[in-house]
Structure 1
Amino acid sequence: MPKRKIYVDPAGVHVIAPNFKQRLSGVTSTIIQLVPVQNRLGQKVAVLGPGLPPHLPHLRFRDLWKLWRAPEGRRNRVWHARRNIEMLPGILLRDILRMPLKLVFTSASQRKHSGWTKFLIRQMDAVIATSAKTAGYLEVPSTVVMHGIDCEIFRPADDKDQAKRACGLDPDLNYIGCFGRVRHQKGTDLFVDAMIELLPSHPGWAAIIAGRATAKHIDFENGLKAKVKQAGLADRILFVGEHTNIADWYRTLDLFVAPQRWEGFGLTPLEAMATAVPVVATDVGAFSELIVEGETGKLIPANDLSRMVLAAGVMMGDVDALQDHAMTARERTKTLFALEGEAETLGVLYKRGAA
């Protein structure tokens, strides 16, 4: 039986996290992971909009009129937008309806903004960039707050062989993974081509592609499956689809590849490193700020198949180095990128604007 949503009274809400996109995305995933931690820290955050799980504290749209009254213990509420479609309603509520709101926007984009987006951003009371690279594309002052990861959900396996068996995998094989949306932008084709080249000379390895191809990208995925079959590797390059227990699949891996051609931030390398899995990643998004070359993995240029083959091949051939990288990756993630650190920093910024 589906769980019922938990609805809360706006009077006790200090921060609103709107989510006006139904489809699951990286932004939605961030909200889902972050809000429970923020509330454990006493930040009194509620979500607004579709596509979010029922266990999060929700506001009803019909209760928005109550935002005319300041929250308990504060002069203003914070409206924390992460997309254009969430900035605009915040502006209308604050400037047209004169509600006591402070508007915060988090930008993960690493490209020039449109004139409309620039206009919206200029109306914000505070702007957050998810990486130093992202901050370079903003034309207003910003604070860098990098995403964190839940290091309890994403943790190493107590028994890796058992973790592999639980996912129906062969415990005698090493696995290299590529997780996320299956599409050209994510570089899934580069990963497949690299595996077709590498696996024949690495008989102890197999590859896993986990993630969903949306309707627009089904033909792309089918083309990759056909290429794998033609190469005679359908039993060693596995398309396992989308899974809600993705942390369990990370625990089966010995190496992770993030082959994106473009990315805003990109959480998959952090998810892998938190699970003690070294990473080969393209130099896009925040990856260069997450990965330490030669210690937690390797960085390669985007859209460079030969460099991907070389980097992954070197790591697949050195199991001892993989184990060293794995432990370093886990410790670095726990120290610098724990989700609690992101939540605490946001709490300081919220208080600065709304206290």
Structure 2
Amino acid sequence: MDDIEVVAPNLKRRLSGVTSTIIQLVPVQARSLGVATLGPGLPGGLPHMRWWQLPSLFRRPHSRRPRIWHARRNVEMIAGLVLRRVLRAPLRLVFTSAAQRHHRPFTKWLIRRMDAVIATSARSGSFLEVPHTVVMHGVDLVKFHPATARDDTFAAAGLPGKFAIGCFGRIRHQKGTDLFVDAMLALLPRYPDWTAVITGRVTVENQAFQRELQQRIDAAGLTDRIRFLGEVPDVAVWYRRVTLYVAPSRNEGFGLTPLEAMASGTAVVASDAGAFAELVQPGHTGAVAPAGDGAALTNAIEAYVANPDLAQAHGRNGLEVVRETFPLEREARGVSEVYDQVWARG
């Protein structure tokens, strides 16, 4: 702990986009910075401080700089404030906001007490009422990459058709899974070379939602061509297998999946929820439709299923954009610059 200058708490057990960000970013930060995670639900390979090491936060590390407590949720801001203001730990507090909405009064009160605030996109920054720095998320270009082996091809999946359309993430109304299914029910009968694959967890409260979608698929006679795969061991390979990825969310925080698809050489059709409109370049790497507009989403998808060559060309363009603009290392540098500004103020 004497070498740890940044603590990245994850005070929520259930996997979320925030958890995924920590899992991807911390190993890159650790190459040049003493950083450790704290909390449940994280893989063992991350640098990790234990709960019994909390007393070490009351003394400075070897560098003599105050440690940074980098919060990404309200509960983590609260914990940081208790440690610093009540228990007098020598900490500086940084908060990353991905929210695409006006914050509640209590959240605003917490944010005003941070030493620095990071917004993950210009849109999320527009909802902040304090000075902030925009540092957009990056993507792991080692994990997410174009096809390199036979198992990366759609043929290896053993499903019908020549091309696949993917929609990955939790199965729920907020994520627009029903909008994707609606589009597939409309399009696939006219484009027999395509198959749709949907991956992701179905929580107990969303099982009825998923069952209703499956019943509609079965009634349309498309059971073999619109497939719910559940939680897959490695979603990265499915990004490589699909020719088109669809992100139909009604609302999002940031939303990493378009970047993961682009890093895999896959074209993207996305809603304008979250930061999607800041990630996808219409007519170059994909298309963007208004969130919740099923007809617009279907039309945007049809341009690609009618012309697979266009999808493949936009997939290649997306790969170039991600490699230049969204590598995970660039995000780590941007966050480190914020830390340096905090330390410069003492």
2: CA distance, partners of 1:124 / 1:219? 41
2: CA distance, partners of 1:105 / 1:213? 30
Counterpart mapping for 1:94-105 below 5 A: 94-105=84-95
Q: Match for residue 270 of structure 2?
A: 281
Counterpart mapping for 1:121-270 below 5 A: 121-159=111-149, 163-170=153-160, 173-270=162-259
1: CA distance, partners of 2:156 / 2:332? 33
1: CA distance, partners of 2:154 / 2:183? 23
1: CA distance, partners of 2:88 / 2:55? 11
Mean Cα deviation higher: 331-340 or 314-323: 314-323
2: CA distance, partners of 1:82 / 1:263? 15
- What amino acid does structure 1 have at the position aligned with 2:197? I
- What amino acid does structure 2 have at the position aligned with 1:110? Q
Q: 2:65 aligns with which of 46, 68, 75?
A: 75
Matched, 1:347 2:336: yes
Matched, 1:31 2:22: yes
Structure 2 SS opposite 1:280: strand
The 4+ residue runs of structure 1 with deviation greater than 6 A are none
For the 8 Å contact 1:14–1:74, the answer to whether it is kept is no
Structure 2 residues without counterparts, runs of 5 or longer: none
For the 8 Å contact 2:5–2:65, the answer to whether it is kept is no
Q: Give 1:57 deviation, angstroms.
A: 1.3
Q: How large is the Cα RMSD of the aligned pairs?
A: 1.2
Q: 2:102 aligns with which of 89, 104, 112?
A: 112
- What amino acid does structure 2 have at the position aligned with 1:351? D
1: CA distance, partners of 2:242 / 2:64? 47
Mean Cα deviation higher: 155-164 or 74-83: 155-164
2: CA distance, partners of 1:160 / 1:280? 25
Count of residue pairs brought into register by the alignment: 344
- Provide closer, same or farther for how the CA distance between residues 257 and 162 of structure 1 changes in structure 2, counting only shifts above 3 A: closer
Mean Cα deviation higher: 154-163 or 139-148: 154-163
Counterpart mapping for 1:269-308 below 5 A: 269-308=258-297
Q: Deviations over 1:218-237 (max 9, x none)?
A: 11011111110111000000
1: CA distance, partners of 2:333 / 2:184? 40
Q: Give 1:165 deviation, angstroms.
A: 4.2
- What amino acid does structure 2 have at the position aligned with 1:111? R
Structure 2 SS opposite 1:57: coil
- What amino acid does structure 2 have at the position aligned with 1:144? V
Q: Deviations over 1:7-36 (max 9, x none)?
A: xxx211010000010000000000001111
Q: Give 1:213 deviation, angstroms.
A: 1.0
Structure 2 SS opposite 1:183: coil
Structure 1 SS opposite 2:317: helix
Structure 1 residues without counterparts, runs of 5 or longer: 1-9
Q: Match for residue 7 of structure 1?
A: none
- What amino acid does structure 1 have at the position aligned with 2:26? V
2: CA distance, partners of 1:102 / 1:250? 39
- What amino acid does structure 2 have at the position aligned with 1:15? V
- What amino acid does structure 2 have at the position aligned with 1:342? E
Q: Deviations over 1:264-320 (max 9, x none)?
A: 110111110110111111111111110111000001111111111111111111122
Q: Give 1:160 deviation, angstroms.
A: 6.1
- Provide closer, same or farther for how the CA distance between residues 43 and 353 of structure 1 changes in structure 2, counting only shifts above 3 A: same
For the 8 Å contact 1:77–1:354, the answer to whether it is kept is no
TM-score normalised by L of structure 1: 0.94
Structure 1 SS opposite 2:2: helix
Q: Give 1:321 deviation, angstroms.
A: 1.5
1: CA distance, partners of 2:155 / 2:49? 42
2: CA distance, partners of 1:303 / 1:92? 40
Mean Cα deviation higher: 132-141 or 320-329: 320-329
For the 8 Å contact 1:151–1:274, the answer to whether it is kept is yes
Q: Give 1:95 deviation, angstroms.
A: 1.1
Structure 1 SS opposite 2:153: helix
- Percent identity of the aligned residues? 54
2: CA distance, partners of 1:162 / 1:44? 36
Structure 2 SS opposite 1:12: coil
